Amino acid sequence: MHTANSDNSSPQQLAELGDGNESGESLKASVNATKNTEINSTESSKLNQSEAWIKYSIEWRDLMDEFKSRHEVTEHDFDMSNLGRGSSLPAFERVAVYRIKSSPKTVSSSQSGEKDEDEARPIPGWLPSYYIRIYSVAIINALRSVVQYYPGQDLSGDFIQIEWPYPILVHHYSQLRSFREAVAKKEPHKLCVREKDVDKHLELLFDFLDKEVMENVKNEQERNSRGRFTFDYLWVALEPGKTIFYDTKEGEEGVPRPGVIHSVSGGIFGQSREGWMVRLWSMEYNGLYLGRVITSLKWFEFDGESTIFGKYAIFINDEALADANKDERVRTAVEQGKSYWNLVGKQCRYHQGTTAGFPTSDVSMKI
């Protein structure tokens, strides 16, 4: 845990890496290569899901992230676990991924050499990574019902795989609770088959999240309310779909650019601690087409709590847009957006003033 205050960090932590047109770009699939082979949809639909429980497993992968093997473990092996339930499918499964040199073998001390034993052990210095695999129809239906925009997470298929620290679940924690409360108010005969187990399955998920990540998340949200951020939990504020104003060293000071958060990677999401990579999109018109353009920003590592991030990224919520008069920056951006939209159609216009790009120039022309 970082404790040092880093308000005196380098004033330029945010770097703009480049723009690119999103047209035709396919999003990277986040589904494990074994997704289509491990669970048969016909067979899984026959399994009993009414009982809410968690399965714990250990997975082995090599340094190239190639899947080697996977097996269920006991409470002693994983520190916390529910044992197998026969034909009953778990609500979700928590998996620990260890890195090894090669495929683990059943080693006999009398017949195997030291080399085989070393290959079967986790590689020193590589901490395990974790993910959960959700099988519960009730949880999957709830998640698909409340998530409106989250391009970095695949929600298709018979199960959903979510990497630690489970950002999509954290960002929709309150919405999932509201969904559960809304379903609880329905009369039993009006519940669809995907809703009948939602109460106990979501309760199991909430208990898991509360134990795993929510305490640190709530602490970060409290810091954010005071304009402070930590590097490890910067992702809490960077929820896909949020609109922000951002500034970079290439931009003109005092004129932040608007963008919608598309996805977040790097940081503590990967094995190596690296800067957060934030992808945003905005609308641009090239004289012929109006479309989305992607911008990539990188926020470098810092220690402790810092206010620097808040100086370069301003979060704009729906209330701020509805009452733009309270913030001059929002009001200016809204007016520019209206003018921009009005200019998209074919028309004759005269312009007198400064150019949009930096450094600005005074122009007077017919367009």
User: Does residue 46 carry a pLDDT above 80?
Assistant: no
Average the pLDDT over each of 25-39, 67-81, 113-127, 256-270 and give the range with the smallest value: 25-39
Q: Which letter does DSSP use for residue 48 in this model?
A: B
Most confident listed range (27-41, 71-85, 258-272, 352-366): 258-272
Q: Which helix (H) or strand (E) holds 310?
A: helix 308-312
Write down the residue that tokens 């404790």 correspond to: 3
User: With bands split at pLDDT 50, 70 and 90, how would you rate the model's confidence at 268?
Assistant: very high
Query: Which is higher by pLDDT, 273 or 284?
Result: 284
User: With bands split at pLDDT 50, 70 and 90, how would you rate the model's confidence at 120?
Assistant: low
- For 329-341, the pLDDT digits (tens) are 777 777 877 877 7
User: Does residue 173 carry a pLDDT above 60?
Assistant: yes
Calculate the average pLDDT of the chain. 77
Q: Which letter does DSSP use for residue 214 in this model?
A: I
Structure tokens at 44: 């899984």
Structure tokens at 225: 């309310």
Parse the chain into domains and list their residue ranges: 14-26+227-366, 35-220
Write down the residue that tokens 């429980």 correspond to: 53
Q: What DSSP letter does each residue of 319-346 carry, written as one string?
A: HHHHTGGG-HHHHHHHHHHHHHHHHHSS
- For 54-68, the pLDDT digits (tens) are 888 888 777 666 776
Exposed/middle/buried for 55, CB within 10 Å: 0-12, 13-18, 19+? buried
Q: How far apart are CA 294 and CA 26, in angstroms?
A: 13
**Residue 9: half-sphere exposure toward Cβ, Cα within 13 Å:** 23
User: With bands split at pLDDT 50, 70 and 90, how would you rate the model's confidence at 12?
Assistant: very low
Mean per-residue pLDDT, 199-213: 97
- 165 upstream amide cis, omega within 30 of 0: yes
Please say whether the beta carbons of 103 and 63 come within 8 A: no
Mean per-residue pLDDT, 273-300: 89
Q: How far apart are CA 204 and CA 49, in angstroms?
A: 13
List beta partners, residue 174: none
Most confident listed range (15-29, 228-242, 332-346, 352-366): 228-242
Q: Which letter does DSSP use for residue 201 in this model?
A: H
Beta-carbon count within 10 A of 57 CB: 17
Considering Cα of 258, then 6, then 303, then 213, what sign does the dihedral take? Answer: negative
